[in-house]
Amino acid sequence: MITLILEFYFPAILIAAVITIGTTFLGFLYWMARKPERRRISQRQFFHDALIANLITIPVLSFAILALLVILRAR
């Protein structure tokens, strides 16, 4: 059972990382498009906030994807 979980955990964490980093990048582009004259300090603050949010979100999302992959495998 543990091998099955580990077999699905690595693809799940990669999928979760791609999803969260992609949405963060799109959010940053939207944030920059609203006011392009943002200063470097506020850009750096946004980057650090997004980094912390990604570090929290990736493991949670990867376990959700892992559960979906295991359920789909059981069918």
The domain tally of the chain equals 1
- For the segment 45-69, the average pLDDT, to the nearest whole number, is 92
- Please say if the pLDDT value at position 75 is more than 90: no
The domain in which residue 47 lies consists of 2-74
Q: Output phi, psi for 39, to 5 deg.
A: -85, 165
Q: Is 71 exposed, middle or buried (0-12, 13-18, 19+ CB in 10 A)?
A: exposed
What is the C-alpha to C-alpha distance for residues 75 and 60, in angstroms, rounded to an integer? 24
pLDDT band at 35 (very low <50, low <70, confident <90, very high): confident
Percentage of the residues of the chain whose pLDDT score is greater than 90: 48
pLDDT band at 70 (very low <50, low <70, confident <90, very high): confident
Give the distance, in angstroms, between the CA of residue 30 and the centroid of all CA atoms in the same chain.
17
